[in-house]
Chain A
């Protein structure tokens, strides 16, 4: 019962939008053949999913790092890091990818500029070829995540809660941090779900910058070639995966809420 309520409350609107989009797509492009157009090679997912996971992890870690160190530093360091996060958050991922490829691979020669080493060649090489695209996808999200987190530790953290904790014998600084952490935790799963979904769709362009043979490349290639069945198949998988990621986030959010409610 609770579960149904939670799904209805958080994911309903989002899921409906995606579903409507998909049905529209399906109706517009239904031209016989494979009814759902699910015939796609699974090895494309073997590129895209690790890429999305890497980018999301990078975004979460870097975003948390930026915002926490900004909150610790305060003053000019805080402002500087805030500016950095704001700048990162408006960088178009594909341009960041082009710049990173220019700087880190062409000039410094640290990482491959593009292409994908298959997993059979060894996981280390495959991961290395995914690192730059993951950075390009993850950094803008890291900036946005940092801005949100910084808000949770900001000066507008509820005074009343802090006062209550101080009466209980906690130091002011410590109380501020604990309340900040609690606020962050409260919105983290849903934020993360949305972020991973957004990264997944963003991979459509970034995979093309780095010549990665992933799902996004299939979608974009099909769109540019006006190949509707392939486009439908690719977009269906993409949209379904994005919806699934958001659903996971929402369910995590719900589980966390119940967990937090049980605690005093």
Chain B
């Protein structure tokens, strides 16, 4: 039974990661090639989807597929930097708490948990005229750091309290060696899953903040600003609203699926 769960977990993780890799590849390719060239508007505004423009063009005449590819890269970059901030603060703090105080409250990482805090911080920072990129990092990164602290404490506490860790310490291994040999290999899959979940949530929060005008400014820069521009034309061209949000959702879902798979793998025979 556990072997079957582990295999299923591995499959799930591979499928999720494959989808993430495809999206990432498409986003990175946008640096050198897009179906209709770079930022320059080249054709009729608001063209219907067709053979030349697969998803049509937006109000400035830019090809939607090209815009989506580069906007995805921007959103992914912003989300990953914010996630990095959260992890760099959260994991050491969580480890410290786990070592000193043992396990803490069990809270699940969810979008609806981080979004309110990010929105509050975002409005404050935008009101204070903090540069927009910095304000996105802080608004996503700080609530994310709290979530990462709670989650990594929950992950690390049982491992730090395990008998073999105590045995290694008694045998004279210092804390760095113990951590390297006994703690890190045990918690690494779970921490990777946590990072993927944080990344997914950060991406969705970034889209929300940019849509509200609290994130990066500049037309069509990130998926959120694409949605902001498309909102006015939602009735005439529903695709301008459906496509950017859809890309963000699919990316986030793929990351969450991969994270869930990693969790399942961990439960299997080590």
Q: Give the distance to chain A from B104, nearest Cβ to Cβ, in Å.
A: 11
A198 at the interface (CB under 8 A from B): yes
Q: Give the distance to chain B from A149, nearest Cβ to Cβ, in Å.
A: 13
A residues sitting closer than 8 Å to B (CB atoms) are: 21, 25, 28-29, 87, 89-95, 98-99, 101-102, 106, 113, 140-141, 144, 195, 197-198, 201-202, 204-205, 208-209, 219-220, 222-224, 226-228, 231, 235, 238-239, 242
**The residue from A94, A222, A238 contacting B212, defined by CB atoms under 8 A apart:** A94
B120 at the interface (CB under 8 A from A): yes
**Once the chains bind, are A239 and B241 in contact (CB under 8 Å)?**
no
**Once the chains bind, are B110 and A144 in contact (CB under 8 Å)?**
yes
B residues sitting closer than 8 Å to A (CB atoms) are: 110-113, 115-116, 119-120, 122-124, 126-129, 200-201, 204-205, 207-208, 211-214, 227, 231, 234-235, 238, 241-242, 245, 248-249, 252-253, 256
Determine the chain A residues whose CB is within 8 A of the CB of B235 once the complex forms: 102, 106, 113
Determine the chain A residues whose CB is within 8 A of the CB of B214 once the complex forms: 220, 223-224
**The residue from B112, B120, B248, B253 contacting A235, defined by CB atoms under 8 A apart:** B120
**Once the chains bind, are B124 and A25 in contact (CB under 8 Å)?**
yes
**Once the chains bind, are B241 and A98 in contact (CB under 8 Å)?**
yes
Determine the chain A residues whose CB is within 8 A of the CB of B123 once the complex forms: 204, 219-220, 222-223, 231, 235
**Once the chains bind, are B213 and A94 in contact (CB under 8 Å)?**
no
A181 to B12, CA, bound (A): 33
Determine the chain A residues whose CB is within 8 A of the CB of B231 once the complex forms: 98, 209
Given contacts A25-B124, A102-B235, could you give 10 more A-B pairs where the C-beta distance is less than 8 Å? A90-B111, A91-B249, A92-B204, A92-B245, A95-B227, A95-B241, A202-B112, A204-B119, A223-B124, A239-B120
**Once the chains bind, are B242 and A99 in contact (CB under 8 Å)?**
yes
A162 to B192, CA, bound (A): 37
Q: A140-B111, A202-B116, A204-B119 are in contact. Are A231 and B124 (CB under 8 A)?
A: yes
A201 to B111, CA, bound (A): 13
Determine the chain B residues whose CB is within 8 A of the CB of A231 once the complex forms: 123-124, 127
By CB atoms of chain A within 10 A, which of B111, B127, B205 has the most? B127
A224 to B200, CA, bound (A): 26
A209 to B228, CA, bound (A): 10
**Once the chains bind, are A198 and B212 in contact (CB under 8 Å)?**
no
Q: List 30 A-B contacts (CB under 8 A).
A: A21-B120, A29-B127, A90-B249, A90-B256, A92-B111, A92-B115, A95-B207, A95-B211, A98-B245, A99-B242, A99-B245, A102-B235, A106-B234, A106-B235, A106-B238, A201-B116, A202-B119, A204-B119, A205-B212, A220-B212, A220-B214, A223-B123, A223-B214, A224-B126, A224-B214, A226-B126, A226-B129, A228-B128, A231-B123, A235-B123
Determine the chain A residues whose CB is within 8 A of the CB of B111 once the complex forms: 89-90, 92, 140
A51 to B119, CA, bound (A): 18
**Once the chains bind, are A101 and B112 in contact (CB under 8 Å)?**
no
